[in-house]
Amino acid sequence: MRRPSHHPAPHRRAPRHLVILALCLALLATATACGSGDKDTTTLRVLASSELRDMEPLLDDLRRDTGVELDMEYKATVDAGDGLTPGNYRHDLAWLSSDRYFQLRLKESKSSTAKPLATTTMLSPVVVGVKPDTAKALRTRAKGGQVSWADIADAAAAGSVRFGMADPKHTNSGLSALVGVATAAAGTGSALRAEDVSCDRLRGFRTGQKLTADSSADLRERYIAHQDRLDALITYESELLSLNAGGKLHQKLEIIYPKDGMVLSDYPLLLLDPAKREAYDKVVDWLKSPSTQKKIMERTLRRPIGAEVRRDPRLRADIGNALYFPDQRAVVDQLVEDYGDPRLPTAHHVIFLLDFSTSMRGPRVASLRAAFAGLSGADTSATGKFVRFYQGERISVMRFGGSVLGERDITVGGRKELDSVRSFVATDDFDDSTAIWSALDHAYRKASDIARDHPGQPISIVLMTDGENTSGITRQEFERRYAARAEAVRGVPTFPLRFGEADTAELTRAARTTGGRMVDAGARSLPDAFKEIRGC
């Protein structure tokens, strides 16, 4: 009988397909085990300002550290604020560069929805980045070498500063810059009121805007592409610092912090759905932690909100005076409407109709001449720099008594044209009678010629008089002729500026007939009244 062998049986390999199956099962088990934490992940829908795209690399860290994932939908800030409807929010959170405009809408809302909880997450002021030679010129002209918004507006009107700025109708950076400039123009040092918003105060400033975009990120890229034809860029401090560090500029931009103040963006995170409070608190705690604040600063060059984080040397310790944001939505809306579309030409033709009857001799004509000198650049006050004649502006100046005594057409280009305006009103050619309605009819014939030669160009008439009509056609005849004119000409408003014994009722009716308004110079200085209605 054969004894059983004591040697082990030979090893047999498992079939290959069984080995592959086993490996797949093992990998599946491992993936399931590693992903078991996903069951605890909370996803929050967030409506965010488009400039916050630069935070995306940090959001993976947020998810890993807190178990909260942010599903971001990006929009320009003002558009995002308009999309937040109290009582009908489609998102759990909103993360905006600023919620000021939204808060104004919320204040006017009749919804009973509670005001969303908001937490500041980082900071960045809206400032001005300027090429070195331009910055040097601005400092040389500025009082004490400290550049203000008024200095920038004056240089823009003179054609020596061409800048890019995002559209204030859509973006927080553009709107914040506009509020800063308008607040400085008002000269009150407080939040803008309705009476501080005047249609002409920012027109000279706007002529310097040669580049715009619907977001600050797009503006940055457009500036890089067109930097050789621009002198400055108005945007967030963080955007300017990033541009300087990016290696794409032919000349780095010097950051100017206007001495009359800036609007500060604080990037609030808003809780729209109170049911998500627990997850919101996790996000807030993570964002406010010193380690995250340091990462935010390093990645975005926005300022940390606490003193625990040592600031990057490029971030100034002091950002200066923070300006108030208007507390009424109507004021902001009027400001944006008056500023207009930066993509459209700013050229405006103003016809000045000046009473040179004998009653104007003495202090009255001296005041008139002072007003024109101020508009020609002699008024170097902080508010006066906002209302000077600007480069490219078209004006016609007519002197009248019993008839039109003289007229001059000027396109402002520099000192030569401005001196021409002042010399024209310096004449002592006066007349014994006053033909107000004949002169105004003559101005509308001039407006007809302008409308024919330059279709679509805005035209307005400023009528200055100190007396009553003593010759020429009657008001009734003027109105008959006005009604017979072409529709485009009937759209030209007249702004009577009355002082002395001029008939208030008659002038008010003329203003209403033509779509303008009357200003009584007796309640203020003539130069101030003149500036208020110029080109409105």
Order of strands across the sheet that contains 42-49: 68-75, 42-49, 93-95, 268-271, 117-120
Rounded (5°) CA angle 372-496-328: 90
Q: Which CATH architecture has domain 124-265+331-339?
A: 3-Layer(aba) Sandwich (3.40)
Closest C-alpha among 515, 128, 200 to residue 385: 200
Residue 386: the pLDDT is: 66
CA triplet 96, 99, 100: central angle to 5 degrees? 150
pLDDT of residue 5: 41
Q: What is the CA radius of gyration of the chain?
A: 32
pLDDT of residue 1: 40
Start-to-end C-alpha separation, the chain: 124
List the chain domain ranges.
40-122+266-300, 124-265+331-339, 349-533
* Topology given in CATH for the domain delimited by 40-122+266-300: D-Maltodextrin-Binding Protein; domain 2 (3.40.190)
Query: Across the 536 residues of the chain, what is the mean pLDDT of every consecutive 10-residue run?
Result: 42 49 45 46 95 95 96 93 85 95 84 85 96 96 90 90 94 92 84 79 85 92 96 97 96 94 94 96 98 97 93 86 87 86 75 91 84 76 69 87 92 81 88 93 95 88 86 94 93 84 81 84 60 58
Q: pLDDT at position 391, please?
A: 75
Residue 345 has what pLDDT? 64
Per-residue model confidence (pLDDT) at position 11: 45
Same fold yes or no, 40-122+266-300 and 349-533: no
CATH architecture of the domain formed by 349-533: 3-Layer(aba) Sandwich (3.40)
Classify the phi-psi angles of 362: left when phi > 0, otherwise alpha if psi is within -120 to 50, otherwise beta.
left
Q: 491 Cβ partners below 8 Å, 6+ apart?
A: 515
Q: Which residues of 493-532 are buried (b: 16+ CB within 10 A; e: fewer)?
A: bbbbbbbeebbeebbbebbebbebebbebeeeebbbbbbb
Cross-strand pairs, 498: 465, 520
In one-letter notation, the amino acid at residue 356 is F
